[in-house]
Structure 1
Amino acid sequence: MSVSNDHAAVETAARAITDNASTTAETSVPSETRAGWLTLLALALGTFCIGTTEFASMGIIQLFAASLEVDLSAATHAITAYAIGVVVGAPVLTLAAARLNRRTLLLLLIGAFIVGNVLSAIAANLHFFVIARFICGLPQGAYFGAGAVVASHVVGSDRAGQAFAIVMTGLTVATIVGSPLATFLGQAIGWRETYLCVAVLGMFSFLSIWFFVPRTSELDGASITHELRGLRKGRVWLMMAVAALGISSIFAVYTFIGPFVTDLLLFGPEAIPLALALFGIGMTVGNLYGGRLADIHPSRGIVAGYGCALVVLVVMAFWGATPWVFFAAMFGVGATMMAAIPAIQVRLTGLAPESVTLMGAMNLASLNVANALGAWAGGVTIGAGLGLLSTLWAGFILTLTGLILFMATMAAEPAASGRRSLS
């Protein structure tokens, strides 16, 4: 794909986000204003809460597996259920609330998030716990979709990729601070108490959105028909498949961080938060760089992110039992994969500029299909007796498939453009 085509896609995406967030021209609030930054912080706190509950489950998987008396393979069903909740909730809740003001929608979604975490804390068995995690996952995609609209309203129309990266920042910081802290709390006071603490954190997020996200009709939604138009495009579904396949290697690694540290490296459980934090630092660095790259050259961000991740996965698969290689690779996987995600968002919005909120939600839905795929594939290889490092090869195959699919769609685009110009 040419540079000019990528710039056109970015410009289309930026205009779409602005048009959806405002009914008049030049309405975005400068990001330099105090009110604008408080809005962004409120959005980031929400994504921090979401990231904490999602990734904490992977850090404490051994704890709730033992408490609920199931093996590690069965315990991954709870993580898969959360991911399925995101996949289902992203389109369903976004479309059901299409006409709602985005501020109101964000408040309702955080409320549902709090309920899901409370139910997770009181689960008496694996079946109840799986249902609770499904409920907890339902708001995530819609929150990111609505949050992306509000963020772009604040930062301006020329920084669509950076706007989405700002929304994602809370999630990546959660992998540095929230998830390791939740894992530590799970080890110190119990996994149930961990989910209750996350629910309390969600209440602070609710209050921050209430006070700092502006009350304005410029954040009103659109009709369901308007949002649905994007899902009629085949290239949107192909891009979602690229995201789901390519990003899955994150979760083929992250899901099993606890066993990697204790069973492979033979460290004590107190080393798990360190591994989680290194992974999170990598994700944050990759996200910040990826947001800038997405506004310049979206396809390059995806190719570079996926390609570099494949190299890191191979290194980790061969030499991951060496501690310094393992910890360096944890940073590398997080950084390379997250560099691609803002570019995926910009491309999705460029493909369906009339459905910007839904595209934000479906991007997160795709990432949680990746969550389910990665956890499932890793669980299958471990269950087959191939060892912990086999999960890395499972992730490698999935990401390679995503990269091949993306390259094929890029190769097909010039031909499609030529046919349209001749018609």
Structure 2
Amino acid sequence: MASVAAIDETETFRAEARDWLAANFPASLKGTDNAMSAIDGPSEETADQRAWREAIGEKGWGVPIWPRQYGGGGLSRAEARVLQEEMARIGAYNPIGGMGVMMFGPTLLEYGTEAQKQEHIPAIAKGEVRWCQGYSEPGAGSDLAALQTFAEDKGDHYLVNGQKTWTSGGQWADKCFALVRTDKSKKHEGISFLLIDMDAPGVEVKPIRLISGSSPFCETFFTNVKVPKENLVGREGEGWTIGKRLLQHERSSLSGGGGSAGRLLAGKPVSELAKEYRGTDGEGRLADTDLRSRIVRHEMDQRAFMMTLRRAALEAKTNQGPSAATSIMKNVGARITQDKAELGIEIMGMNGLGWEGEGFSEAELNQTRTWLWGKAVSIYGGSSEIQNNVIAKRILGMLDHQ
């Protein structure tokens, strides 16, 4: 059990957090979303949004458990939970996010040099720099280790040539963390982890329009791009190890609500949607018993999933970060997210199939796009099939048999 002293310290911090939030969170932003995390790209910040981002960035509470010396909050996990509770209480959102927070920052804290941490982490902690991920290629998707983007050693720099695809937010990013090949004679051991400026000469991005109508992904082309040697994270040939670690952080964020799947699950419950579109009987129940049963199963699954995520966070006693178990959470979260979208479309009927024109509300049009866009949830961050391989090998201990 927690000691009385620990409880007192937690409540003291709660009072501090409550006072600071009251003084710094603009009331106009209550209940709104992060302008930095829109699916179709970042929207223009209002004066209040900018003030809120700068205030929490300066405090370090956008990345509460990151070390203070790099611009983080330096809070304990218990304090970070209290901060999250207090923000939820007043309808405040965390304006510091993106791939720098979800994936790259935690990875650099583990593998980066002191100079790299000092250069990159503070800017991420303040929400001043956008990062994108250069992993997948046209010929290296599920078999990522087959990547061919080549970084040629030119003495004091690398010369990078190749192509990446599905670069999320590439058209808005300032920098890219990428897996590149530095040795063509080895597969996994020939891969390195490199940081590339997106405004460097020779970098070109072409947005990819998805079935949902949005263009959050890009093709990214590198043509004779000069990258300084100090932008190598870890040693040459260590990229596969670092890259896999980063994917664990990504899957942890995607399953835990920090990513787009979490934002979809956070929408209106399907039970409320069903009452709105299908109506209820004299006892307040849906007349369609089959639909009612499926909604109950979905909301039970969602509640159990969110409680499991919370328990995993509460039980974390070290700073070792996510494990291979994130693959389980990623798969379950993807299934529940897609189930919710499918149920929403079924409940709305024809109203849930609109694309444009009169006769549909904005919420109904968004439901159609969300349903289509959500098909990718079981693909990005590593497809469900890849996650099953990770679960089989790294959790269940099953090995390949020749």
TM superposition score category, shorter chain reference: under 0.3
Name the larger-Rg structure.
2
Please, what TM-score do these two structures have when normalized by structure 2? 0.27
Q: Quick check: which one's helix share is greater?
A: 1
